[in-house]
Amino acid sequence: MIAEVPEAMREGAGGATVLRESGELPDLEVIAQSWFEDGPDIAQTIRGARGRNRAKLATYLLVSVITRHRDKWADLILRTALWMREAPPEFDLCWRELSIVAKALADGRDMTKIGLMQNIAQRTIAVLGNGARA
């Protein structure tokens, strides 16, 4: 599937831009609302960090707890990309960008440099920090 993505989009500065801006993909607005981490280890970390800078907490979650679930996120994002690719071409959904994100996760790239993963960390803090699941 990645072979179907234009090289300029997946290599060098183009690839870095796609990863950085992946948190702003309009096709994901509704879908990604359910994308957050949930579990006792994450809830405990967030409870223990009350009052801290949210950006720093999100970064901490990405390099500690969420990174242990890298394969889960790569799989979910890849499946979403596959699903979007099957939509009629006129919808022009963001499957190419999601393919790049899934590959970056599978390749072990730094999650703090991936906008979509930053959004997932922020959403995790919002959901668990509000006591909705904690």
For the chain, which residues make up each domain, given as ranges?
2-23+38-129
Give the percent of the chain with pLDDT over 70.
Answer: 95
> Lowest mean pLDDT: which of 14-18, 71-75, 76-80, 127-131?
127-131
Rounded to the nearest 5 degrees, what angle is found at the Cα of 119, between the Cα atoms of 45 and 47? 15
Please state the pTM of the whole predicted model: 0.91
- CA 122 to chain CA centroid, nearest Å: 10
Q: Are 116 and 23 in contact (CB under 8 A)?
A: yes
What does pLDDT average to over the chain?
91
Give the percent of the chain with pLDDT over 90.
Answer: 78
pLDDT at 134: 36
